[in-house]
A and B are shown apart, each in its own frame.
Chain A
Amino acid sequence: MNARHTTFHPKWHRERMPIFWWLRKWNYTKFITRELTSLAVAYTALLLVVEIACAARGEGPWSRLEAWLRSPAVLVFHGIVLLFLLVHSVTWLNLAPRAVSVRLAGRHVPDSLVLAGHYVAWLLASALVWWVLTGTGR
């Protein structure tokens, strides 16, 4: 990912790549899919803000939000967003052992243990979100 690019260079020859180069191989498509999960991440963060804004702004905005969330097209859309979020979580956590090197008492902690630790963290964080969201009164 070299951000320095010139439109002209006297020595290099650049082969022109088609725009949809990433559809040629499954690996490339997987790569772009993983990169596009960032859209789902941003969307969910903004949805969270909308939910809070509607809750704060009164009964009218809140019931409109609830009705919108219940409409079939929106439910299907959110199902797809959730799939992308899960791809993000799985691909992100799977890279963790390569991103961090954990040492305990001078010994290298095996990758499988680091990986398991991250999945346990995911489980605990999800449980926390569940507890926070369902623990408050209706």
Chain B
Amino acid sequence: MKRSREPFFWALFSSGGMLAALTLPAWLFLTALAGPLGWVETPGRTGFRELIHSPYVRSALVVLVFLSLFHWAHRFRYTLYDGLQLYHLNALIATFCYGGASVLTIVAAWIVWTAG
């Protein structure tokens, strides 16, 4: 019997879900709402560049993006599968979700890493 890849993707889904739950609301609130609306002082361009100058920050951000994308991939796969009942497209949906997350992670890692 072929070994299931399910536990592997589930682990990514689960750690991504936790990391996203803890950090993303604050990030979005600050950089996309409170900052632009002038409620708080956000770093601005120089601050951002200072921030990503540190390889630790860049690594942390790459991990956050990687796990968030695979959280999406796994969950969205089953949303399409159960929600829209696309059972016959199972292989196609899985390829689209995990493949999409992989490509986006590689592009994101390259952008974040070379930005420092």
Q: Identify the A interface with B (CB < 8 A).
A: 1, 3, 5, 7, 17, 19, 21-22, 32, 35-36, 38-39, 41-42, 44-49, 51-56, 59, 62, 66, 69-70, 74-75, 78-79, 81-82, 85-86, 88-89, 92-93, 121-122, 125-126, 128-130, 132-134, 136-138
Q: Identify the B interface with A (CB < 8 A).
A: 6, 16-18, 20-33, 35-37, 40-52, 57, 61, 64-65, 68-69, 71-72, 75-76, 78-79, 81-85, 87-88, 90, 101, 104, 107-108, 111-112, 114-116
Known: A1-B78, A38-B79, A49-B111. A56 touches B52 (CB 8 A): yes
- Inter-chain contacts of A86 with B (CB < 8 A): 25
Q: Is chain A's binding surface mostly helix, strand, loop or mixed? A: helix
Is A126 within 8 A of B43, CB to CB? no
Is B27 within 8 A of A48, CB to CB? yes
User: Whole-angstrom distance between the alpha carbons of A128 and B19 in the complex?
Assistant: 13
